A and B are shown apart, each in its own frame.
Chain A
């Protein structure tokens, strides 16, 4: 019970919002014993990123226990699980965003195209240009729409003149499905858009850097159903060109957008498999309980 609380508290460090607090504490504590090894096939045939035996600690508290998982090329992997289960933490390991948290420590091996991303030779700044991230709450910079999208391109010197920059901004906005809505007001502040538009702006901003992988941390949790549907369609289109990992609290969303689904519980990867199989025929009792809404 106490240990459960501690694990729940790592929630705060992940800076994700508490969405659903697990009330069946005792039951969870019992079931915790049952998670020994991951059920299902965590490896992809054509992997883009590979994580092996990843352990993550916040100070003395362990937030991720021995997780191994592949992100395959051109697939969407959904990470689901109750709040505080470590899915956001795991996601943030994939582009070393956890480096910005001083007390966070990552063990294990994560590769991008067989390159160790935690090796000394890997520059986290270049890594994050290749592995982009979209956050839970839309966080456009307090700049114009144009400057928001151009930000990354300018940062990494992707455009050599104004025309090239315009080209990058327009294609990115088009890919994010936002261009038609904002083409007349590119120089107005990005913070003036609606929540869903802001989130698509953030996606456009991420695409503008031409990443290979896009990590999405509950990208639609702050949006209404219509904006969510637009984002989901977008994710499906983006799959053609990018590898995508998405953390979500919405089971329907995971079922709609992903090819594979991973179920996390208290820092452990409980079960991973084809999305269809996970939602129709889960093998682990915890997974079944979660997706049928019995807890979490």
Chain B
């Protein structure tokens, strides 16, 4: 019986626990005047028994699955020759993988190395013992849970309170998952970044104006400049994001105003989903569009008025990115403007304000927090966007504010660094983590600033 089957068994027992708990509560109540004499409704007693059955068993199962490999390994190490114990952690896990594969392959007899053979046989034994122990133990825990739960079904047992409390813990657990994931990501990026800063000084990275991350693989290699100055990348990111926001914010906001205030209900029902489709187009497709349609158009147009435009320009990437993020601004703004109470509109109209005056002076200020929220969402999409920039803006790390030149962004460089042909602990690949960390900090700071601005300037209605 593997873990999946065991899970099904636990769920089955839990359902059984619910049914029997409910029945038991009704039976218990019969001596004292029917179910209405119970503290809670019968179903809560059912839930209580089910929770007593399911939750301890599930916790045990999860613990077992997490801890089992480590325990097995330490047991197995005794079988292996003493030379093995001097191996590093990474090499040891390779050996373990090897043994596991051998044990699963069913061809242990064909193995020539006697040590390996013995270890693999031992591993098989351990595996089956562990599985049996696990299944029996968990089954007993689940059963015990049912019995304990049933014993607790009494007239004055406050089953509803108990169930509500468990539900609250479940909700807390779910929100913890998101928080812990964020912390985990930050920490993993942080540790790699620290390794990077051991080989490249942090000041060179933050204040350096040259980005050329070629490091030598062999000592005699040429062209390995290895300059890790992040400023051109952040400048490129900001330039492209700024172009995108300049396109997206006015367009998105105005289309939101049209949709919420002027458009007929039927037009809105059609136009809003259509606009939201823009957000659903894969960014690779936007990349095609930028590289094959917009960029050549901008170059030809620039040449016709005598400007020198690179064939991969920040402008092309920024414009297309701007189009992509319009729905983030428009859809959210539309919702918050529509949510401003009718009393506000009545008040303004009743004073003789025109429709545009009402929108400008009453609705927008009242909806400001939501609008800024939409813009922030759009901005973080723009800063994090990779594909469009790879295809339309190029890889050249120029430090420029000229939108007609090729620039590159932080995310694009992270991609090229990690897909490059390098060892994983070289400064080149580690630089990707440092860039990621910087990007994270930048967007965090932007968010904090924006929230502060909103809190200061918003006009809150009741």
Binding site for B on A (CB under 8 A): 15, 95, 97, 100, 102, 125-129, 132-135, 137, 139-143, 151-152, 155-156, 189, 191, 202, 205-206, 209
Interface status of B348 (Cβ within 8 A of chain A): yes
Report yes or no: B346 in contact with A125, Cβ–Cβ below 8 A: no
Interface status of B352 (Cβ within 8 A of chain A): yes
- Give me 15 other A-B pairs in contact (C-beta within 8 A), A135-B343, A141-B366, A189-B459 excluded: A15-B342, A95-B350, A100-B345, A100-B349, A125-B354, A128-B349, A128-B352, A129-B351, A129-B352, A141-B347, A141-B348, A142-B365, A151-B353, A202-B347, A205-B347
Contacts of B366 in A (CB 8 A): 141-142
In whole Å, how far is A196's beta carbon from the nearest beta carbon of chain B? Answer: 15
Instruction: Give the interface centre of B264, B342, B345, B352 by most chain A CB atoms within 10 Å.
Output: B352
Expressed in whole angstroms, the Cα–Cα distance for A126 and B353 within the complex equals 9
Interface string of B328-371 (1 = CB under 8 A from A): 00000000000001111111111111100100011001100000
Interface status of B461 (Cβ within 8 A of chain A): yes
Report yes or no: A132 in contact with B350, Cβ–Cβ below 8 A: yes
Report yes or no: B347 in contact with A191, Cβ–Cβ below 8 A: no
8 of the cross-chain contacts (CB-CB < 8 Å) are A97-B346, A128-B349, A143-B459, A155-B361, A189-B459, A191-B460, A191-B462, A202-B347
Report yes or no: B353 in contact with A141, Cβ–Cβ below 8 A: no
In whole Å, how far is A79's beta carbon from the nearest beta carbon of chain B? Answer: 17
Report yes or no: B346 in contact with A135, Cβ–Cβ below 8 A: yes
In whole Å, how far is A247's beta carbon from the nearest beta carbon of chain B? Answer: 14
Report yes or no: A135 in contact with B347, Cβ–Cβ below 8 A: yes
- In chain B, positions 352-411 with a C-beta closer than 8 Å to chain A are 352-354, 357, 361-362, 365-366
Instruction: Give the interface centre of B351, B354, B362, B366 by most chain A CB atoms within 10 Å.
Output: B351
Residue of A nearest to B346 (CB): A135
Contacts of A152 in B (CB 8 A): 351-353
Residue of B nearest to A101 (CB): B342
Contacts of A206 in B (CB 8 A): 350-351
> Which of A135, A142, A155, A202 interacts with B353 by CB under 8 Å?
A155
Report yes or no: A126 in contact with B460, Cβ–Cβ below 8 A: no
With A100-B345, A155-B357, A202-B347 already in contact, the answer to whether A142 and B352 are too (CB < 8 A) is no
Contacts of A95 in B (CB 8 A): 350
Contacts of B343 in A (CB 8 A): 135, 137, 139
With A135-B343, A137-B343, A155-B357 already in contact, the answer to whether A142 and B459 are too (CB < 8 A) is yes
In whole Å, how far is B437's beta carbon from the nearest beta carbon of chain A? Answer: 40
Main secondary structure of the interface of B (DSSP, over half): helix
Instruction: Give the interface centre of A102, A125, A205 by most chain B CB atoms within 10 Å.
Output: A125
Contacts of B462 in A (CB 8 A): 191
Report yes or no: B460 in contact with A139, Cβ–Cβ below 8 A: no
Instruction: Give the interface centre of B264, B345, B349, B350 by most chain A CB atoms within 10 Å.
Output: B350
Expressed in whole angstroms, the Cα–Cα distance for A265 and B168 within the complex equals 53
Expressed in whole angstroms, the Cα–Cα distance for A140 and B343 within the complex equals 9
For the complex of A and B, list the 9 residue pairs with the smallest distance between their C-beta atoms, beginning with the closest.
Answer: A142-B459, A129-B352, A139-B343, A133-B350, A128-B352, A152-B351, A139-B347, A142-B461, A125-B352
A/B pair count, beta carbons within 8 Å: 76
In whole Å, how far is B359's beta carbon from the nearest beta carbon of chain A? Answer: 13
In whole Å, how far is B267's beta carbon from the nearest beta carbon of chain A? Answer: 12
In whole Å, how far is A74's beta carbon from the nearest beta carbon of chain B? Answer: 22
Expressed in whole angstroms, the Cα–Cα distance for A202 and B351 within the complex equals 10
Instruction: Give the interface centre of A126, A129, A134, A151 by most chain B CB atoms within 10 Å.
Output: A151
Contacts of A15 in B (CB 8 A): 342
Contacts of A126 in B (CB 8 A): 352
In whole Å, how far is A18's beta carbon from the nearest beta carbon of chain B? Answer: 16
In whole Å, how far is A168's beta carbon from the nearest beta carbon of chain B? Answer: 13
Report yes or no: A139 in contact with B352, Cβ–Cβ below 8 A: no
Report yes or no: A139 in contact with B351, Cβ–Cβ below 8 A: no
Contacts of B365 in A (CB 8 A): 142-143
Contacts of A140 in B (CB 8 A): 347
With A97-B346, A139-B343, A141-B347 already in contact, the answer to whether A156 and B362 are too (CB < 8 A) is no
Contacts of B264 in A (CB 8 A): 102
With A139-B346, A142-B366 already in contact, the answer to whether A151 and B351 are too (CB < 8 A) is yes
Contacts of B347 in A (CB 8 A): 135, 139-141, 202, 205
Report yes or no: B459 in contact with A97, Cβ–Cβ below 8 A: no
Report yes or no: B459 in contact with A128, Cβ–Cβ below 8 A: no
Expressed in whole angstroms, the Cα–Cα distance for A137 and B362 within the complex equals 17
Expressed in whole angstroms, the Cα–Cα distance for A202 and B343 within the complex equals 12
Residue of A nearest to B459 (CB): A142
Residue of A nearest to B341 (CB): A139
Report yes or no: B353 in contact with A125, Cβ–Cβ below 8 A: yes
Residue of A nearest to B347 (CB): A139
Expressed in whole angstroms, the Cα–Cα distance for A129 and B357 within the complex equals 14
Expressed in whole angstroms, the Cα–Cα distance for A100 and B344 within the complex equals 13
Report yes or no: B460 in contact with A209, Cβ–Cβ below 8 A: no
Contacts of B350 in A (CB 8 A): 95, 97, 128, 132-135, 206
Expressed in whole angstroms, the Cα–Cα distance for A137 and B354 within the complex equals 22
In whole Å, how far is A8's beta carbon from the nearest beta carbon of chain B? Answer: 21
Report yes or no: A142 in contact with B342, Cβ–Cβ below 8 A: no
Expressed in whole angstroms, the Cα–Cα distance for A128 and B425 within the complex equals 73
Report yes or no: B346 in contact with A209, Cβ–Cβ below 8 A: no
Expressed in whole angstroms, the Cα–Cα distance for A100 and B361 within the complex equals 18
With A142-B460, A191-B461 already in contact, the answer to whether A209 and B351 are too (CB < 8 A) is yes
With A191-B461, A202-B347 already in contact, the answer to whether A151 and B352 are too (CB < 8 A) is no
Residue of B nearest to A151 (CB): B351
With A135-B343, A155-B357 already in contact, the answer to whether A141 and B459 are too (CB < 8 A) is yes
Instruction: Give the interface centre of B346, B361, B461 by most chain A CB atoms within 10 Å.
Output: B346
- In chain B, positions 243-278 with a C-beta closer than 8 Å to chain A are 264
Expressed in whole angstroms, the Cα–Cα distance for A206 and B346 within the complex equals 12
In whole Å, how far is B351's beta carbon from the nearest beta carbon of chain A? Answer: 4
With A139-B344, A139-B347, A151-B361 already in contact, the answer to whether A156 and B459 are too (CB < 8 A) is no
